[in-house]
Amino acid sequence: MALSVTTNVNEVCFRLRGSRLAAGWIGVAAGADSVGVDCGRLEAWECGQNIPSREQIAQVAATFQVSSEFIRGGRPTTARERLAERLAAILRSAEGRLDVLAQEWPKRLKLLREKHPFADIDDAAYNCGRLLQTILKHEREEIPQNIDFQIGYALALRARPEFAVLTVLPLHPRPHEQVEWWEPLPSSSMRLLGKEIGKEWMRKLANAIEGFY
């Protein structure tokens, strides 16, 4: 059964993507694998090329631990949904000006790394689930960066994704935001930046940033 005509399709797209990111699946391929669908299908849903059915929305919602009602535009009622809504708002705000915003991301990433609460750059890289050289190459603009991974860096380094993507101050969470962000992330769903890390790193990563909400 298709979505009703009263559903805001664009909002569904942003909330699907925001829910994936909030659940810790920064790479769309890993997110699709967790849902049990083809990567191209999830990507098409997130960019509005195809419209998911109610059953498919329910499948995604169960995997990302949000409600189907939230994805279809309902009010967020949990910490995970509040974070997903914030990330959806960031994605929405960045639409149409990614090229301009991306010019600032290398500098923002360097600042996030320098201001992180960990001991040194190696700890920062470890907590992001990335190789140190990958982070440095993103900072030096030697390899391209995308908005999902910029958000992922912010979440892993306990900085505000609004700052990382949109350069909206402050860098660190405000006191009232701590309540929303410090809900434990289930270890089984933590696939933060995916391909470069093995199972043991994944386990340690989940433990390292457990409770980021």
Domain boundaries, the chain: 9-94, 98-208
Residue listed under structure tokens 């994605």: 91
Pick the closest to residue 49 from 23, 82, 12 (CA basis).
Answer: 12
pTM value is 0.77
Residue 52 pLDDT greater than 80, yes or no: yes
- Do residues 83 and 22 lie in contact, with contact meaning Cβ atoms separated by under 8 Å? yes
User: What's the whole-number mean pLDDT along residues 26-30?
Assistant: 85
Packing angle, helices 39-47 and 28-35, rounded to 10: 110
| Residue range 113-143, pLDDT digits in tens | 777 755 466 666 666 666 667 777 888 888 8
The listed CATH number (3.30.310, 1.10.260, 1.10.600, 1.10.3470) that belongs to domain 9-94: 1.10.260
| Whole-number Å distance between alpha carbons of 19 and 137 | 28
Question: Residue 5 — pLDDT band, cuts 50, 70, 90?
Answer: very low
